[in-house]
Amino acid sequence: MYRKGHLGVSLLVFAPIGYGLVSIGEPELSLLTGAVMVWLAMLPDIDHRLPIISHRGPTHSLLFAALVGGVFAGAGFLLEGAFTVAGFSLAAFGFFLGFVSVFAHLIGDTLTPAGVNYLWPLSTKTFSVYLTRADNTIANQGLFALGVLVSAAVMGLAFGVF
Ligand SMILES: [Zn+2]
């Protein structure tokens, strides 16, 4: 999956989360979540630029999602007490945010024939729902448009614009 397709999938995954956060009275956190998910939408593809790591290997796994979650949990832990968020700990929310940001990328790549080895390094089996080739322009543009449309509509509802 290319950048636009990934952004679209990330926005689709964000929509219900963002709605939920606004509905429990955390609009700023909702916007922050959307921003982080868009920012990290391509993070697993840093493996293109890392010499020893194979593409769609370690950075395309639940383990990597948990690792990024751990980094965000650490940041949340340091900020704990600085402000409160709807009764849940910032460390726990940080973990969720890091994890789901990477997980959204994995979902995008699952739609392509090469698939994703979610259980790396425990398994070599890749999981794929062959919906489109990664370089399919219509699929990438379509997912992007759908993600923008759905998240805008859902956030519009959440903020009471409609
Ligand atoms: Zn990827």
> Along the 162 residues of the chain, how does pLDDT read in single tens digits?
899 999 999 999 999 999 999 999 999 999 999 999 999 999 999 999 988 888 889 999 999 999 999 999 999 999 988 877 777 899 999 999 999 999 999 999 999 999 999 999 999 999 999 889 999 999 999 999 999 999 999 999 999 988
Instruction: Give the number of other Cβ atoms within 10 Å of residue 135's Cβ.
Output: 11
What is the distance in A from the centroid of ligand 1 to the CA of 115?
Answer: 9
Q: Is residue 18 a contact partner of residue 34, using CB atoms and an 8 Å limit? A: yes
Report CA-CA distances (Å) from 140 to 15, 65, 102, 132, 144.
18, 23, 18, 9, 6
What is the distance in A from the centroid of ligand 1 to the CA of 45?
Answer: 5
Question: Which tokens is 71 given?
Answer: 């980094």
Residues with CB under 5 A from ligand 1 (ion): 44-45, 109
Number of domains comprising the chain: 1
What is the distance in A from the centroid of ligand 1 to the CA of 129?
Answer: 15
What is the distance in A from the centroid of ligand 1 to the CA of 42?
Answer: 7
Domain span at residue 84 reads 3-158
Q: Is residue 156 a contact partner of residue 149, using CB atoms and an 8 Å limit? A: no
Q: How many residues does the chain have?
A: 162
